Structure 1
Amino acid sequence: MGSYRRAKKEDCMRSSKKVMSIGIGSVNDSFESLRRMCNDKSNELIKSLDLNAGEEMEVVFWTADIPELICVSKITKNESGMLSYRLDFTLSTL
């Protein structure tokens, strides 16, 4: 009989990074316009999200018409309960 490792309860309960995908704008919009849209939507999201302290969420922004990656917004909640985000445009395919 082959070796079998039973999963530990901690392995199942360990929180993984949350991910959300949003289609916004068009490939015909200027990059500055798309950047503003992503910034505005991230501001809107941090007002309604419920994350635990130290938890992180990634929001992937795509153009709505032809899916091209615009950016990834990394939203975190610090120990004092404040939500913040950082937009990362380094992976953009536009």
Structure 2
Amino acid sequence: MMNTNKISIGKTTDSFEELQILSQKEAEKIAETLEIKEGEKHIFQFWTSDFPELICEAVFHKNIEGNIECKLDFEQTIL
């Protein structure tokens, strides 16, 4: 099962490096609060807040040890 959520962060005037850092920090916050069942994946799309441009997708899942892991995919960006 997969759930997709949209998160607004940063602005289109921020550098791509700044947006990557903001995305990583936000993903770490999300990982602390997520409850994921085994086999589930949750996808969060990170968009700029001023004019909606896709920054990246964050895919969260539970690893073998039962911890939440996240992979940020910046190849999806439209900036």
Quickly name the TM-score band, shorter chain normalised: over 0.9
| 2:26 maps to amino acid | K
The reply on whether 1:78 has 2:63 as its aligned counterpart is yes
Find 1:47's aligned residue among 15, 20, 32.
32
> 1: distance between equivalents of 2:7 and 2:59?
13
- The structure with the greater share of residues assigned to strand is 2
> 1: distance between equivalents of 2:76 and 2:66?
29
Deviations 1:28-55 (A, max 9, x none): 0000000000000000001000001221
> 1: distance between equivalents of 2:43 and 2:27?
10
Higher relative contact order (CA 8 A, sep 6+): 2
Q: 2:9 aligns to what?
A: 24
Indicate the SS of the match to 1:59. Answer: strand
Q: 1:87 aligns to what?
A: 72
Length, aligned pairs only = 79
Indicate the SS of the match to 2:22. Answer: helix
| 1:55 maps to amino acid | E
* Pairing of 1:4-15 with structure 2 (within 5 A): none
Q: 2:43 aligns to what?
A: 58
Structure 1 spans left out of the alignment, 5+ residues: 1-15
Identity %: 34
With the length of structure 2 as denominator, give the TM-score of the two structures: 0.95
| Greater Rg by CA | 1
| 2:68 maps to amino acid | L
